[in-house]
Amino acid sequence: MNNIMTPPIDDQFLATAKTAMQQSRGAGVRIAILDSGVDTTHPALAGIQLADDVALVREGDFLTALPGNGDVIGHGTAIAWLIRSLAPEAEIGSFRVLDGDLRSRATVVWEAARLAMQRGYHILNCSFGSPGEPRLVMPYKEWTDEAYLKRVHIVAACNNEDAGFREWPGWFPTVVTVNLANMDPEIWTRRAGSLVEFAAHGHDVLVPWQGGWKKVTGSSFAAPRLTGWLARLLSAHPDLSVEAAREILRRLAHDESSRV
């Protein structure tokens, strides 16, 4: 399907989209979490059944998809819980790309993203950012371009210290990139003219972590909120292009003055 030919979003359609994002529970939408894994035994995720639980592991010159077997640190579990809090009926798959230090390789992320697309996921949640070095442009651009052409939506975090610091995949214009803010958890804001265009609550967020709970701050925990709202939108309007969905997020965003 072609992302370029996007129909105009008139006021009537926007009103329908707004209602969907208020009422939908994400049914029919498949979300791939590219992260540190998901601990399905945590009480906060009771009842969750992962569509996929995969760890991408480098063995010599090859990458192998192995059973994920949980979360190596807790980060991915927190992301899954935040997404489920907004889109509890969405289908979630875990693709482990981060190690216990929350580090990865561009080739590992690339393979995970392509595997998720092959398996039919509609949204890729990337609560991480790779340093924006020129040598890493193509390993990220190849799969973000592929996602765009396949109408697969990417939501990413940004640099926590400075959203103006270039990171991949968040600095590609086809990616919905989210900064953290101290704000109402039920809304998101938009900053026009910035590649890190959106912001959501990501300050002192209480999340499930390694069998207990932990208070965390970061854009990693703001991004899944946009993923959840996007899942609500796509549940009601599954054929939306990447461009159209992003435009709806823009037009329904609150003013930046909503930040605390």
Residue pair 30/122 in contact (Cβ under 8 Å)? The answer is: yes
Closest CA to 76 of 121, 106, 31: 31
Mean pLDDT of 25-40: 98
Q: Quote the pLDDT of residue 192.
A: 87
Is residue 236 classed as helix, strand or coil in its secondary structure? helix
Query: Do 125 and 34 touch, CB atoms closer than 8 A?
Result: yes
Average pLDDT over residues 114-135: 95
Dihedral in degrees, nearest 10, Cα atoms 100, 105, 110, 116: -10
Residue 8 vs residue 190, higher pLDDT? 190
pTM (2 decimals)?
0.94
Specify the CATH superfamily of domain 27-120+131-139+202-212.
Answer: Peptidase S8/S53 domain (3.40.50.200)
pLDDT higher than threshold 90 for residue 3: no
C-alpha angle 214-33-62 in degrees, rounded to nearest 5: 115
Chain mean pLDDT for the chain: 93
pLDDT of residue 69: 85
Q: What torsion, rounded to 10 degrees, do the Cα atoms 5, 243, 258, 226 define?
A: 140
Count of alpha carbons within 13 angstroms of residue 233, beta-carbon side = 26
> Would you say residue 1 has pLDDT above 90?
no
Say if residue 76's pLDDT is above 80: yes
| Spatial separation of the C-alpha atoms in residues 85 and 247, rounded to whole Å | 24
Share of the chain above pLDDT 70, in %: 94
Structure tokens at 4: 């370029």
Q: What pLDDT is recorded for position 7?
A: 58
What is the average per-residue pLDDT within 88-98? 98
- Mean pLDDT over 166-173 rounds to 95
Mean pLDDT of the region 228-250? 96
What pLDDT was estimated at residue 5? 47
Tell me whether the omega of the peptide bond preceding residue 8 falls within 30 degrees of 0, making it cis.
no
**Alpha-carbon gap, residue 174 to 195, rounded angstroms:** 9
Question: Residue for token digits 């994920």?
Answer: 68
pLDDT of 181-213, one tens digit each? 999 999 999 998 889 999 999 999 999 999 999
Q: Do the bridges between strand 212-216 and strand 205-209 make them parallel or antiparallel, or are there none, so unpaired?
A: antiparallel
**In sequence order, which ranges of the chain are alpha helices (DSSP H)?**
11-23, 75-86, 106-118, 137-149, 223-236, 242-252
Q: Which of these ranges, 5-14, 45-54, 113-122, 137-146, has the smallest mean pLDDT? A: 5-14
The encoded tokens of residue 137 equal: 């442009």
Q: What is the DSSP code (8-state) at residue 151? A: T
* Dihedral sign (CA 137, 143, 149, 151): negative
Domain ranges of the chain: 27-120+131-139+202-212
pLDDT > 90: what percent of the chain?
82
126-165 pLDDT, tens digit each: 999 998 888 888 999 999 999 999 999 999 999 999 988 9
How far apart are alpha carbons 193 and 64 in whole angstroms?
A: 40
Q: Which of 6-15, 75-84, 237-246 has the lowest mean pLDDT?
A: 6-15
